[in-house]
Structure 1
């Protein structure tokens, strides 16, 4: 339980910090004044000002935030004078978020999403190159031979590929097993490939099969682990990240339909409680499973944030796109109202999903299918 909570907090904090780092780096690149870059959420525990930016560590250790000069809660931008500080100079106003061109503001808003996507691509590319990925093979492969079995007697060897069985070309392990079982006691012909050469063997499946073995005495697979070279892994990693992103969008669509029409969350959809449970499962399975989980969670964060929903990055981008299209800024008041409503709706959705998470836990069900 403690490991699950710690892992969840650490992973979520890393993902949110990387997201905020995107906003931070692009704001600095465009010369916008960054007032604070914080780890965790207030109240503040420690802070050190370097240059014009305060770097802080806060009490709630989940995620982080970036505070830009001239960015009000709506994101449209405003400079508020309290009366206790000197008036902003024209040079300072030029460095305010709201005063920058729309394309720069749009880039900064999108930067967090881009950073989360890049992180996922980097992790998937590393996994593709260092650990490989399971891919289907063209032919069934013999992966193990049982001693004193019909397969051993027929000189079938580990690594042989099955081209045909009794003249039938198959690539599903279930079909191979069924043919071998149905032919018990009768010879069958196998066309195998070894070192690029095809040859025929005859083998008679056993009528009395020892426990834990098959009629022929082989272990077969139509899956192999493929490792990509380091120079091509990023290309295939990017493609895989886009595929997962599309699947996430499909899942979100199903979630909305299920919530609106049936009033329930579909299997596989989880709130904070469910994500924490899955974090514990991934960590318990080891480094590879954890890295896959982090990459998928990072993509989820990117996809959800880019949706044109007020209070999210996509919602802020939507208002900037309206400005770019019409040439006029949306009233800061109306934008603030839209983001407040959007935030309230998102919080309500999270609470709703979390309620179902807790119900599943109390009823002894797994919140999401085991990995």
Structure 2
């Protein structure tokens, strides 16, 4: 069932984004009087089609893209027979270069608008929930990656790239993870220490075995929900208890408590807990996996801020363009050899895994908004067969006053298709390889 939900979310997200992207091209083309022969979401074989006026609207079985067929345009269909005839007034090639440029930018513009609208709507509806930096008063817990970077459990992060930390979530910001010469400033033993962010940190975080936060806020905790029949229930633990010690050692922090349970897996322990202001001693049996059988309730005070519609729009735009900024920084790291493309580039399988096997509207729209901006960015790349390739040639035509020949455009389109097929093949193969191994 999880796989069905993953695939369903992927198809729904891509259908929305591809449909809107191609709609941007179609509406711009029709606005300038160009004939649109076909509007397709998905690739053949055909599931459904219906012709209205001059345009056939089609739904394809392969939901990994779509296209708009505009008369007189060299595109991915490679249908060049019509180009051998004299240009007609309704054809793409007979229109001024500035109109053709707007048509090719139409899909990208719509995807950018879609991303901004989604992020603005989420900000307006849900507001912002965050952990104020001052609430992480006990410092951080550093896992293996965090320790290799230079963090120590108990460090208090006070700044990122020299900017004072206000929200703990900014520790994971793209400026920190993808920025050049990025660094954290921490307080340790009364002194301030700078910790440099390694260039390959994102690679490490993308590994399956290490797909987690490298530092997390250190926290005290209460006993939350107790599983029926568990060792916690048998020991007499109650929801709301505060664990103070385990076998006489301080265990008020959850990371310390977890470590002690692991060290005493399969053994009997003695705990001191605080219940309604009074200390109580309890004995408990730790199972073979180092668990007692309860859910912890972290003692962290998150803050929530609501935004008006007027505030949400610029914040949504900031978040949307932050995705493009992160992509540019990510590509820069790949080209500089600081990031491994096998860990940075993903295809449909990886996207489906990010959507996850549980449907949540906030997560779905957050990821769909991100993908809308990624789609806009990728389509703007100056690769023939992508919108950016057409934009590149049209910009050359506008600046130089000379139009590339149809033969040149046809050959460029073929080269671009080969590049795109290779990139798609690499992404899918990498997805399969990463999933299996």
Give your verdict on TM over 0.5: yes
Contact 2:9 2:364 in 1 (8 A): no
TM-score normalised to structure 1 length: 0.69
Q: Does 1:333 align with 2:333?
A: no
Q: Does 1:64 align with 2:81?
A: no
1:94 to partner: Cα distance: 1.2
Aligned to 1:267: 343
1:312 to partner: Cα distance: 0.8
- Pairing 1:305-320 to 2, within 5 Å after superposition: 305-320=379-394
Q: Residue 307 of structure 1: SS of its match in structure 2?
A: coil
Aligned to 2:126: 131
Which one is further off, 308-317 or 247-256? 247-256
Q: Does 1:276 align with 2:271?
A: no
Aligned to 1:44: 46
Contact 2:29 2:35 in 1 (8 A): yes
Q: Residue 44 of structure 2: SS of its match in structure 1?
A: strand
Per-residue deviation, residues 278-316 of structure 1 (Å, max 9, x unmatched): 12x2x6261111111111111110001011111110111
1:221 to partner: Cα distance: 4.6
Residues 46, 119 of structure 1: alpha-carbon distance in 2 compared, 3 angstrom cutoff: same
Q: Residue 329 of structure 1: SS of its match in structure 2?
A: coil
Aligned to 1:234: 313
Equivalent-residue separation in structure 1 for 2:114 and 2:327 (angstroms): 17
Aligned to 2:366: 292
How many correspondences in the alignment? 300
- Pairing 1:4-153 to 2, within 5 Å after superposition: 4-73=6-75, 80=82, 93-135=88-130, 137=132, 139-140=134-135
Equivalent-residue separation in structure 2 for 1:178 and 1:237 (angstroms): 40
Q: Does 1:248 align with 2:327?
A: yes
- Pairing 1:205-244 to 2, within 5 Å after superposition: 221=300, 224-244=303-323
Aligned to 1:353: 427
1:211 to partner: Cα distance: 5.2
> Which ranges of structure 2 fall in alignment gaps of 5 or more residues?
138-164, 169-185, 191-217, 219-243, 257-272, 278-296
Contact 1:78 1:98 in 2 (8 A): no
Residues 81, 250 of structure 1: alpha-carbon distance in 2 compared, 3 angstrom cutoff: closer
Contact 1:40 1:58 in 2 (8 A): yes
Equivalent-residue separation in structure 2 for 1:326 and 1:81 (angstroms): 23
Q: Residue 328 of structure 1: SS of its match in structure 2?
A: coil
1:335 to partner: Cα distance: 1.9
